[in-house]
Structure 1
């Protein structure tokens, strides 16, 4: 078990070659606030980090799963356990 780095996380989907490279999804953004805790614009919750897999266990993101790809970079994991398109990165310290 582990903890994610505290801070604000910004989530985005890939764009396209002729437009913006990333399209931010502000409703998916979140902040890691402390030991296994997070907050969003819709409320607070908890998560569990096992190895590289993050599972949101309570709150508005309950059931969402992410895979830690590197320091501060996460990618959504679908119900089929395949990596999805949404990526979230640590954008800075808590506001």
Structure 2
């Protein structure tokens, strides 16, 4: 079957034009808000304390260290997380399935699947430089 060179050339030009037009366009919105990353460093997780002590009850099994971009380490196992808007979801590794709301820089509060805050909080206790 013989192809018409004009059609092929026209399709190639259309693809090139579409690619160059989209290169300067802003990225489409992401469901949940803009994508971000957490501050590098170690996050200590705890339950709130009571009036008898200065600190909450530390939960070493949930402590993690953000090592780069969207990766963390917990218990020697590397995992990944997704941070969109004010939500952080552990998507791989030891803490897979945990969800947090970022309250402020270095302060996360665990949330359930419906977005309701739970007791556990994780706080940046040392930064990586």
What is the TM-score of this pair, normalised by structure 2?
0.69
The alpha-carbon deviation at position 42 of structure 1 amounts to: 4.6
Greater C-alpha radius of gyration: 2
Quote the residue 1:50 is aligned against: 84
RMSD of aligned Cα (Å): 1.5
Aligned length: 95
Q: Which has the higher helix share?
A: 2
**Correspondence list, 1:30-45, <5 A:** 30-45=64-79
Q: Which runs of 5+ in 1 are unaligned?
A: none
Runs of 4+ in 1 over 4 A off after TM superposition: none
TM-score with structure 1 length normalisation? Answer: 0.92
Structure with more strand by fraction: 1
CA distance in 1, matches of 2:85, 2:113: 18
| Structure 2 residue 14 is matched with structure 1 residue 11 | no
